Amino acid sequence: MSPEIASAKAAYLERDRWFDECYRDPGARFATAESLAASMDLAGIARSVVTGFAFADPGLCAASNDYIIEAVRRFPGRFVGLAAVQPDAGEGAVYELERCIGAGLRGIGELLPDGQGFDPARKETFLLLAAALQKYAAPLMMHASEPVGHSYPGKGKTWPPKILELAANFPELRIIAAHWGGGLPFYELMPEVRLALSNVYYDTAATTYLYDFRVFRAAIAACGAAKILFASDHPLLKQDRLVKRIGAEAGLTEPELALVMGENAARLFNLTGPDTNI
């Protein structure tokens, strides 16, 4: 998150309803490019996928994207940047995606349907954007949440059926459903659902806020290790501690660990070189 946004937090709380939902707590933390790079060094993470905040207002998205672009440039080889866009902006969203791709970003994310006020399942909303993403072989990362369990700031109602419908509408589009897809991997045990989710991946962001570590084995049993991307949700979770705990407690084999901790992301983002985490 840009230091300008963090230092003008009060103004942004008023400008965006979901930013207020997520950050009104005085203890809410913001990451900068510098704090993330330091955290990665500590955790032994070579490369991270980074996102700004997806505001409802396209102009605020663009300003947030400018900071991601700058961060990617300032830390060569360390960040894979994603652009925030407002899908309901239609051609404007495609224009912003193309501006960001031209400036070195590699996809869209993390979109926040509950906060930005769009419906992921509405096909018309994504017709132009999905075509543009596919043209650039760029993935779309979407917040997802559980229809059960405790509530938390920013949880929202982007539940598994919404992600499934998005995937069914655009079978070629590569989608990353955040936070274990709100439980969607379980439904990959249904053959027709598995088919519809062929190009859907799941990230592990905020995992210890939501699940115990058996979620790794359960998800791998349901959808396979090739679809799971390690993500921390920095600065929400401490990367070094999380990496150590996954190695010790998740019960993954060495090949599974290699896929989850970097190989899947490298394949998805067409990267070569060291490991990539979100």
User: By the criterion CB under 5 A, which residues form the site for Zn ion?
Assistant: 143, 178
Judged by beta carbon, residue 82 or residue 178, the one nearer Zn ion is 178
Smallest distance, Å, CB 178 to Zn ion? 4
Query: Do the beta carbons of residue 152 and residue 114 sit within 8 Å?
Result: no
Distance in angstroms (rounded) separating the CA atoms of residues 88 and 128: 10
Give the span between the Cα atoms of 256 and 258, in whole angstroms: 5
CB of 82 to Zn ion, least distance (A): 12
Instruction: Tell me the closest approach of the beta carbon of residue 247 to Zn ion, in angstroms.
Output: 24
Tell me how far apart the alpha carbons of residues 52 and 1 are, in angstroms, rounded to a whole number: 5
Q: Which is nearer to Zn ion, 51 or 256 (CB)?
A: 51
Residues paired with 141 in a beta bridge:
176
For Zn ion, the closer of residues 97 and 178 by Cβ is 178
Q: What are phi and psi of 267, to 5 degrees?
A: -65, -45
Residue 151: is it exposed, middle or buried by C-beta count within 10 angstroms (0-12/13-18/19+)?
Answer: exposed
Nearer to Zn ion, 25 or 192 (CB): 25
**8 Å CB contact between 115 and 157:** no
Instruction: Give the nearest distance from C-beta 18 to Zn ion in angstroms.
Output: 11
Q: How far is the CB of 172 from Zn ion (least distance, A)?
A: 24
Using CA atoms, how far residue 37 sits from 4, 49, 52, in Å, is: 18, 11, 15
User: 150: which 2 tokens?
Assistant: 């405790």
CB of 148 to Zn ion, least distance (A): 17
Determine the residue with CB nearest Zn ion.
143
- Judged by beta carbon, residue 154 or residue 262, the one nearer Zn ion is 154
Q: Which CB sits closer to Zn ion, 180 or 187?
A: 180
Q: At what angle do helices 239-249 and 33-43 cross, to 10 degrees?
A: 30
